[in-house]
Structure 1
Amino acid sequence: MTEHKRVSERLPVPEAKPDHIADPVDVVPVVNIANALTVFRILLVPVFIVTLFVEGGHDTLWRLITTAIFGLAALTDRYDGRLARERGLVTDFGKLADPIADKALIGAALIGLSMLGDLPWWVTVVILGRELGVTALRFWVLRHGVIPASRGGKLKTLLQVLAIGLFLLPLPHPWEWLAWGFMIAAVIATVVTGIEYVWQAISLRRHSTSGASGR
């Protein structure tokens, strides 16, 4: 009995393994600061549209107000995603609502400027066509994988926001070249990144299909 007790004392005692099933699950609340900024941006879109067309759309004061609203909405786009990642506030609602808010704001601005005759329709068609096309591509390859946002895509968005902001401002005639410079750069970035997304989508489907056939 004594010998058995000594042997058992020398044997290592197994550590208790964590029971992950019993661990409490951290559920991210849908109502948080990041999602609130996204919803705020969506609510600003109809306000932006109304102010854009006040007094025929070319009143200096109202164009300054409209530009300020657009800038505020674009600013929320910069911070809602960052807050969600840094504070662990990423939700399915945010993943869905954030790109919708972005496209709604950019689309409303481009269409509004074209309706007022300040921006050629071909620019609006190219940019919005690319955005809708990339969205369709993401759904096309969804079961094969996810196409991540690229640095080029972020640069494209920045150029679009700057270009639209300059077109909204009641700039003196000699300064209109600055707005057009940014808009041309935005269109080029839009087309180039769109081609990159098409290539990524084709490659993703090809690798997924070849991997499945290999198994």
Structure 2
Amino acid sequence: MPGQPHTDPVVPRARVANLANLLTGIRMALVPVFLFALFAGDGQETSWRITAFVVFAVAVITDRFDGALARSYGMVTEFGTLADPIADKALIGSALVGLSVLGDLPWWVTVVILVRELGVTLLRLVVLRRGVIPASRGGKLKTLVQAVAIGLFVLPLSDGWLTGAWVIMLAAVALTVTTGVDYFVSAVRDWRGRSAGQ
């Protein structure tokens, strides 16, 4: 109304200390616990490998919940946006490197996946200034298949089951490469579109 001061509507900001970010923090804290269990007993004791699998599974489950909570209940924060993918990469990366060090997974698998993950993370940081490119369905499927494949390699499986684990791991590598290329193409297309619109 005339004569009254103009005030902008207050948009509530999500608190950094929320459940979604707590789950992300728990996932990061579980990384060294997972590595301890993976390498305990020279990395070959069945009980420790099962323990490592359980810790890894719990960490993966927190990843499924923290993003859903953040989006559904307005808990998205700048901290969570940056910390969540870092926690994911720390978990997946430590598992891959640990398995390769133990000789359970060839280094080429670890290198291919880590190069893609680091490349996409760096690209996200660059694109972040102009907006966020949301994760695609292929990217989410890639993350799920990676987690299942790594989990199977962490378990002390017999040769028959290991063949199945390899099939899933090769599918994870294929998805990792194709979604990485797709993300790069999408980022370049978005960048050009925004530049042309300026």
TM-score bucket (shorter structure): over 0.9
User: For the structure 1 residues 209 and 30, does the alpha-carbon distance in structure 2 shift closer, same or farther, using more than 3 Å as the test?
Assistant: closer
**RMSD (Å), alpha carbons:** 1.9
Alpha-carbon contact 1:141-1:204 (below 8 Å) kept: no
1:148 alignment partner, SS class: coil
Moved more, 196-205 or 23-32: 23-32
Check whether the contact 1:145–1:204 (CA below 8 A) recurs between aligned residues.
no
Shift of 1:89: 1.1
Which residue of 175, 178, 186 maps to 2:161? 175
Which sections of structure 1, spanning at least 5 residues, go unmatched? 1-13
Residue 37 of structure 1 corresponds to 23
Task: State the partner residue of 2:108.
Answer: 122
1:104–1:18 Cα change, 3 Å:
farther
**What does 1:52-67 correspond to in 2, within 5 Å?**
52-67=38-53
**C-alpha separation in 2, matches of 1:27 and 1:147:** 21
Q: Percent identity?
A: 58
For 1:165, which of 145, 151, 164 is the aligned residue?
Answer: 151
Q: Distance in 2 between matches of 1:56 and 1:170?
A: 13
Q: Output the TM-score relative to the length of structure 2.
A: 0.93
Q: Evaluate the alpha carbon distance shift between residue 30 and residue 140 of structure 1 in structure 2; reply closer, same or farther with a 3 A threshold.
A: closer
Q: TM (normalized to structure 1)?
A: 0.86
The answer on 1:94 being equivalent to 2:76 is no
CA distance in 2, matches of 1:20, 1:53: 59
Residue 14 of structure 2 corresponds to residue 28 of structure 1 = yes
Change (3 A) 1:62 1:92: same
Q: Give the total of aligned pairs.
A: 197
Of 202-211 and 168-177, deviating more is 202-211
Task: Measure how far apart 1:91 and its partner are.
Answer: 1.1
Given the alignment of the two structures, is residue 146 of structure 1 paired with residue 132 of structure 2, yes or no?
Answer: yes
- Cα offset, 1:205, TM superposition: 2.2
Q: Which 4+ stretches in 1 moved above 4 angstroms?
A: 17-20
Change in 2 beyond 3 A, CA 1:67/1:30: same
Tell me how far apart the structure 2 counterparts of residues 25 and 141 of structure 1 sit (CA, whole Å). 25
Q: Alignment partner of 2:90: what SS?
A: helix
**Matches of 1:18 and 1:156 in 2, distance apart?**
52
Tell which structure's C-alpha radius of gyration is larger: 1
Change (3 A) 1:208 1:34: same
CA contact (8 A) 1:156 1:186 kept: yes
Aligned-partner residue type, residue 159 of structure 1: V
How far, CA to CA, are the matches of 2:126 and 2:194 in structure 1? 13
